[in-house]
Chain A
Amino acid sequence: MTKEEAKHILRELDFDDWYMAGVMFPPKTVTKKRMRKLEDLTIFLEPNEKMFPSVQLKDLVEWIENKIGDKQLAKTLKDINNNTALSYLQKCIEFHKTVTSRCKNLKEIAGENYV
């Protein structure tokens, strides 16, 4: 992957391509937050005892594939999502690990000071 390709995947999208993600505060409510770029998911997907990601993982993978443009990451996440042995929250944890690791690698490729 080139530096430019890494930067492209890490870029902030145009508003129309932002992903509206739900955040569940069980057992009472769901609030929402728009995801502007891939790295936003590292916060969104982080396991937490009081709030959970509340999205359809299939849609999220499609967003990564089609809007973010990271087909390789999308393929890995698709495989995790298709693993019927995992619960939804376990999938979210695996998604989090994978996306976090991917962002770290992309930033390294993009350059040390890439924000």
Chain B
Amino acid sequence: MDDIRKRGYSGNILHLRLSTLDYEIIPTEKYVEWSGGNALGTALFWDYCEDKTIQDGRNEKNVLVITTSPLNGTAAPSAGGRCEIVGVGCGTYPIGWFTRSNIGGRLSSQIKFAGYDAVVISGKAPYPVWVEVKNSHIRYNDARKLWGEKARKTQLKILSQLDTDNNGWGWQPLPGKKDEASYTTQKPAIICVGPAGEQQSVHAALVHDAGNTSAQGGFAAVFGSKNLKAISFLGTGGVKATNPMDLVDARFKVKERYAFNPNNPDLYQWGRLSKPGGSNFVSSVTQNSRLQSCAGCIMGCRSRYDVGYGNETKCQATAWYAFFALYYYKNDRQKMSEVALKLADYCNDVGINTYTFATSIHWLERLWHKGILGKNKKIHTELNFDELGSEKFGFEFVDAFAYKKDIGEFFADGFVQGAIKAGLEDEWKQGYLHHPYWGIQEHGYDSRCEVEWGYASILTDRDINSHDFNIMFWNVNLSMLHGTPYRIEAGKIVELMAEKLKPYVDSPNCLNYADDNIYSDDVLNLVRWYIHYNRFWKNTAQFCDLRWADLYDTNAPGNVGATADEEVGEQVYWNAVTGEDISFVDGLKKGHKTFIFQNAIWALQGRHRDMVYLADYIYEKPVEKGDFPFFLWPTKDENGSWRYTDLMHRKLDREKFDDFKTRFYKAEGLDPQTGWPTEKTLKELGLDFVIDELKKHNKLGKEV
């Protein structure tokens, strides 16, 4: 065994060449400097995608990379089960950026157990295929009979096909073994598309098991465009840590310091790591359920139910239709839960992104009542929005998008794209369609109040979807909602958090969300930390967003969070597994490097700073009523006193954000005139190999 396999890596990268239905094995050693996950995926994309100017992920030249982290398959807390996917996506406006997504479950651990750290997918298969990976055995299978199947049946049929001895017990024969006893009880982990992915709708989601999906980025449409129905991974190997006892010690320490008492959980706990596990958003239809989690997770954020539906569903999937159903069924909460969970199940089965519906369905309802959407109207539909809330309408609505028919066909490339096509661009610009960044839906947190979310989303490539600071919003606002005392006062919480952000910030003023501070250098540096933290610790090392970053935590002495802690911080697990000796800040620097690398790809794709702006309504209209009762964030007054302040009714200043952008580019080492990476920055970060390609396309930034 060589060194790399003792450091959390499996040693190989699998390159699936779909056009010729063959593959190659690349030694991970060549790429180990990229650590894993997002960074590794970016490097592989750079090397294997010959044309980096493509603007839509469904282009045959696109290369998709599924990547793992050294921490996947280990006991690192809530980092063992995530899996990163990168490539050129589709659905963002005006360009389908090189982007990322993430999926949980057992996928990344099975990929590693099979012997791989990443899977590069290039070309386009001549006909629909699914790929079987059993350790070193790789095989392309004809998927024409699977084409059209939903995710559940696709996985069942593949499992059935893999079970070649038809023993029916789910025991998988190991390839190359003649001995009848050579079976594994491992269950393959399958990632697949349903009908929506086959239709190449940008709203499609990749699906693994029952409720793990990868939706942002539109990578399921990329699968569909490549005639790729599914990949099944089955591995019998393991993951070796360099210093396993360091990993175990840190796990015990983090448990002692942060774990909640299951017999007496603190329901008003503040922080992330020690938050009790949860389930779906709507009331359960049954009490008979148990929590379910991704591989190696300390939480359990989903459930399995005895009713046979809603299994492993979570988050927006269970919430987006629930309240419509509650009204339609006249306050029958049992029926609401049943409809919401069944529909969540169905969305996962057809492989569709429910986040895309969360804001858009209200807009479509508006168009219906305005006479713009309807039978033989400007946008034709056979759907009857007067039945919005019924089980029947819910399924018909999802079907339209899954099978790209009716309005699902009209909006198949995105809602903003559809609005423009229909001459309804003003509906977006005026904020009736809440899509603030890159033409995609707001996550639920308005950029005019929660500025770091909006800034980081528009300065990268998609909805940042990272709740590092957002948790403070929930903790504070729920306290206000319940009328309970704040567990941590504003002046203290900003000190605790700012301490974690050093050396990027030098004062808690970075968390001053007052109108006169949201364009300051302090906030700018917080945003830089936010992006760099995500690019490395979350997207590359793959710490789960539901637990990390832990910037404060009321379960721990002094309310100090686990992030960056010398004994239980992210870097402790990384070092224990990889044998490296990096600091938490070293990880942030790696995140910076990856971010600049990705800026180079975006430049090649056609990005210029002039297109980096939030939707017009963010600058022109104050936050509308109805989203939240209040939007409390810490602010500092002229006397230096901190308090939680309601930021409702705020809008952003276009010129001030533009100036913020200029300073951000300078701080990152990007050309402020264009936003493109400069030669000096690329050389300093060890990205010299990018320079020639940028020069060739006249996309190299001028020195600051």
Contacts and interface: CB of A to CB of B under 8 A. Distances in A.
Interface stretch (A2-10, A27-35, A65-73, A104-112): A27-35
User: Which 10 residue pairs spanning A and B have beta carbons closest together?
Assistant: A87-B483, A25-B281, A15-B369, A27-B474, A20-B626, A59-B625, A33-B323, A43-B331, A88-B481, A29-B444
Interface centre among A32, A86, A89 (most CB of B within 10 A): A32
A23 B323 CA distance: 8
Nearest to A42: B331
A103 interface: no
A42 B331 CA distance: 9
Nearest to A32: B362
Interface stretch (B40-48, B107-115, B314-322, B694-702): B314-322
A21 B624 CA distance: 11
B626 A32 contact: yes
Contact of B628 (A22, A50, A51, A89): A22
Nearest to A52: B481
Contacts of A89: 481-483
Given A43-B331, A87-B483, 5 more contacts: A15-B370, A26-B478, A28-B319, A59-B625, A88-B629
A43 B326 contact: yes
Contacts of B480: 87-88
Interface in B475-508: 475, 478, 480-484
Given A24-B628, A30-B627, A56 B648 contact: yes
A79 interface: no
Contacts of B484: 87
A59 B646 CA distance: 15
Contact of A31 (B358, B482, B629, B630): B358
Interface in A75-115: 86-90
B627 A22 contact: yes
Nearest to B330: A43
Contacts of B362: 20, 32, 34
A74 to B, nearest CB: 16
B331 A88 contact: no
Contacts of A90: 483
B131 to A, nearest CB: 34
Nearest to A53: B629
Interface of B: 281-283, 315-316, 319-320, 322-324, 326-327, 331, 333, 358, 362, 365-366, 369-370, 444, 471, 474-475, 478, 480-484, 624-630, 648
Contacts of A42: 331
Given A29-B319, A33-B323, A51 B629 contact: no
A52 B323 CA distance: 11
29 contacts: A20-B362, A21-B626, A25-B282, A25-B319, A26-B474, A27-B471, A28-B281, A29-B315, A29-B316, A29-B444, A30-B628, A31-B319, A31-B358, A33-B324, A43-B326, A43-B327, A48-B283, A48-B333, A50-B283, A51-B281, A54-B626, A55-B629, A56-B625, A56-B629, A59-B625, A87-B483, A88-B482, A88-B483, A88-B630
Nearest to B434: A32
B283 to A, nearest CB: 5
Contacts of B481: 24, 26, 52, 87-89
A23 B627 CA distance: 8
A13 to B, nearest CB: 11
A57 B629 CA distance: 7
A24 B370 CA distance: 27
B483 A86 contact: yes
B521 to A, nearest CB: 31
A29 B369 CA distance: 26
A55 B326 contact: no
B627 A31 contact: no
B630 A50 contact: no
Contacts of A53: 629
A49 B281 CA distance: 10
B592 to A, nearest CB: 29
B629 A50 contact: no
A34 B283 contact: no
Contacts of B282: 25, 50-51
Nearest to A57: B629
A48 B366 CA distance: 28
A72 B444 CA distance: 34
A28 B280 CA distance: 10
Contacts of A29: 281, 315-316, 319, 358, 444
Contacts of B322: 31, 51
Nearest to A29: B444
A20 B474 contact: no
Nearest to B321: A31
Contacts of B628: 22, 24, 30, 54
Contacts of A88: 480-483, 629-630
A115 to B, nearest CB: 11
A13 B324 CA distance: 18
Nearest to B649: A56
A59 B370 CA distance: 24
Contacts of A55: 625-626, 629
A34 B365 contact: yes
A41 B628 CA distance: 16
Nearest to B359: A32
Contacts of B320: 31
Contacts of A22: 626-629
Contacts of B625: 20, 55-56, 59
A22 B483 CA distance: 19
A59 B478 CA distance: 20
B281 A50 contact: yes
Nearest to B282: A50
Contact of A56 (B324, B370, B478, B630): B630
Contacts of A33: 323-324, 327
B333 to A, nearest CB: 7
A16 B198 CA distance: 39
B629 A54 contact: yes
Contacts of A87: 480-484
A28 B483 contact: no
A59 B626 CA distance: 8
Contacts of B323: 23, 31-33, 51
Nearest to A40: B327
